[in-house]
Homo-oligomer: A and B are copies of this chain.
């Protein structure tokens, strides 16, 4: 078993076209994970993740802040305690529309097929 505070993992800047986004890779293959990875993202006020699609899904949980999630042509408001599922190949984007930081967990499969 491994237990550690999320702050023990270094934050990395997510490159453009992400805007004001940082990521911590909390659980990865290096941790010993056989199937899926846990990441924590923070998006600064006014920032956003890229509008993009890929062949793997997202399972996300909003920890703090407020914003929006776009999935396909649908845009919905986000707040702490919200659960988000983005299916494979759907265009999607997280935006921070609040004044504070938007923070969420976002998990992906390790086998991206």
User: Taking beta carbons and an 8 Å cutoff, which residues of A are in contact with B?
Assistant: 1-7, 9, 26-27, 31-36, 38, 57, 59, 61, 63, 69-72, 74, 76, 78-79, 81-88, 90, 92, 105, 107, 109, 111
Contacts and interface: CB of A to CB of B under 8 A. Distances in A.
A98 to B, nearest CB: 16
Contacts of A3: 69, 71, 76, 78, 82-85
A74 B1 CA distance: 8
Contacts of A86: 1
A97 to B, nearest CB: 14
Count of this chain's copies in the oligomeric assembly: 2
B59 A1 contact: no
Given A59-B27, A107-B59, A82 B4 contact: yes
A4 B69 CA distance: 11
Contacts of A88: 34
23 contacts: A1-B69, A1-B72, A1-B84, A1-B86, A1-B90, A2-B85, A3-B76, A6-B82, A7-B81, A26-B61, A26-B83, A32-B87, A33-B57, A33-B85, A34-B109, A35-B35, A36-B59, A36-B107, A61-B61, A61-B105, A63-B63, A105-B105, A107-B107
